[in-house]
Amino acid sequence: RIYVDVVFNHMAAGEGEVVGTGGSLVYPEERLYPHVPYGPEDFNPPCIIKDYQDVKQVRNCGLVSLPDLNQKSENVRRSVIEFLDRLIDYGVAGFRADACKHMWPEDVEFLFGNTKDLNKEFGFPKNARPFLYQEVIDLGQEPISKNEYTSIGVVTEFLFSAEIGNTFRNKKLKDLMQWGSDKRFLRSDRALVFVENHDNERGHGAGGKDILTYKDGKLYLLAVLFTISHPYGIPRIMSSYEFSNSDQGPPASANGDIKSPVMNSRGICTNGWICQHRWPGVVGMVQFRNAVAGRGILNWMDNGEQQIAFCRGDLGFVAFNGYTMANLNSTVKVCLPPGIYCDVITGDVTDAGCTGQEVLVNKSGYANIFIPGDSPTGVLAIHWGSVYLLD
């Protein structure tokens, strides 16, 4: 499914005549965007946000130099809804709405509440509504609250990103026992959660130096796999490309054409692309999450330090070894029927057996779990769908 990133808070800035990527000509200083069309009457009076404690300024003034659209304008509302409806006709499943903090909640609700239902020609059920997640950066330090937007749709939980980075960098894995219960977090079904996004992985936006990125290697992967395995929130996985400075664009040829990813023999992206969503461990953990959906955490275990494990109800079991030198080697209750299970992080289930690590669950529901300190992921996960042979 495709979820389109849409921006309706503002339009592009620039001096004089500016040529868009599609060839349209716009005149930002005059607030003229003929191809929409937008004119000066569709924008808020010129001003720049200087005080994020001033709610009206944040929502009615320009974000840096970007001309600030007035979402109460009938022309703006009609143009936005027509655009969203056209995307729905194309078969998209929903939208990421950028910069929602800079728009009044009632305007956001109007725009997305008046679209068409999803297109049944693409397999969506009758009366299905587009999935909406709204970008609202709120770490609890400003008067505009992410909770103002939860009745409209899902909201980006940037505090999750900051806190999970802080925990994996500076604390112990055992400290994750109560993860998701922080009262500062959004309620689970309204929270879009992520280890990093396209802004804060580059030092922009919320989170600061604690944000984990692909450059942090195994520590980053541990955090991503924990995020997917845990029942709190709606996870979003970053799919990135290499960068050496915060303003660097995607891999491109000398004439500016974006390069396509090239897959190696293991299905991993090269050619400057990271493609975290294709990492085998991530793919396996997504399968795990789908298999244990609706089940909470049972039988939490830890060694008081950097090794943890838990069941997801009676449908799955996952273990994490945060050490880089010491092994995790323990016999624990895995909450699954007796049999041979395949670890979905290191391989798959086939007719011939497991392509990765096997886990033997005895008649008492216990199994010996082994994760070496030099494991590239530090994680093992089994679930009811990864059973090779039931006892």
Domain contains 108: yes
Residues 304 and 155 in one domain: no
**CATH number, domain with residue 162:** 3.20.20.80
* Domain final position from 237, 266, 285: 285
Both 93 and 59 in one domain: the answer is yes
Pair 276, 310 in one domain = no
**Distance between CA atoms of residues 167 and 174, nearest Å:** 10
Same domain for 22 and 137? yes
The closest alpha carbon to 264, from 252, 278, 249, 284, belongs to 278
Of 285, 307, 331, the last residue of a domain is: 285
Active-site residue list: 98, 135
Rg of the chain, C-alpha, whole Å: 24
Q: Quick one: 157 and 80 in the same domain? A: yes
Q: What is the number of structural domains in the chain? A: 2
* All residues at 6 or more sequence positions from 37 whose CB lies less than 8 Å from its CB, including other chains: none
144 in Cβ contact with 55 (< 8 Å):
yes
Same domain, 45 and 85: yes
Burial 106-138 (b: 16+ CB within 10 A, else e): ebbbbbbeebeebbeeeebeeeeebbbbbbbbb
Sort residue 73 into left (φ over 0), alpha (ψ -120 to 50) or beta.
Answer: beta
DSSP structure string for 45-66: PS-B---TT-HHHHHHSBSTT-
For residue 290, is it within any domain? no
pLDDT at 207: 80
pLDDT at residue 151, as a whole number: 98
Residue 56: per-residue pLDDT: 97
pTM of the model: 0.95
- For residues 223 and 309, membership in a common domain is answered with no
- Residue 35 shares a structural domain with residue 137: yes
362 part of a folded domain = yes
Q: Which residues have C-beta within 8 Å of that of residue 341, sequence separation ≥ 6?
A: 354, 358, 359, 360, 361, 367, 382, 383, 386, 387, 388
193 and 116 belong to one structural domain:
yes
Is residue 280 located within the same domain as residue 301? no
Q: How would you write the pLDDT of the chain (391 residues) with one tens digit per residue?
A: 999 999 999 999 999 999 988 899 999 999 999 999 999 999 999 999 999 999 999 999 999 999 999 999 999 999 999 999 999 999 999 999 999 999 999 999 999 999 999 999 999 999 999 999 999 999 988 999 999 999 999 999 999 999 999 999 999 999 999 999 999 999 999 999 999 999 999 988 788 889 999 999 999 999 999 999 999 999 999 999 999 999 999 999 998 899 999 999 888 899 999 999 999 999 999 999 999 999 999 999 999 999 999 999 999 999 999 999 999 999 999 999 999 999 999 999 999 999 999 999 999 999 999 999 999 999 999 999 999 999 8
- Give the closest residue to 198 by CA, choosing from 154, 134, 241, 149: 241
Which of 233, 255, 285 is the C-terminal boundary of a domain? 285
In a domain, 90, yes or no: yes
Q: Are residues 123 and 76 in the same domain?
A: yes
Q: Tell me the HSE value of 142 on the side-chain side, using a 13 A CA sphere.
A: 21
The whole domain housing 374 covers 296-390
E strand or H helix at 107: helix 105-113
Whether residues 146 and 44 fall in one domain: yes
Q: Which two tokens stand for residue 168?
A: 């994996």
Residue 371: per-residue pLDDT: 98
Q: What is the CATH number of the domain that holds 366?
A: 2.60.40.1180
Model pLDDT, residue 206? 82
pLDDT computed for residue 17 by the predictor: 96
For residue 291, being part of any structural domain is answered with: no
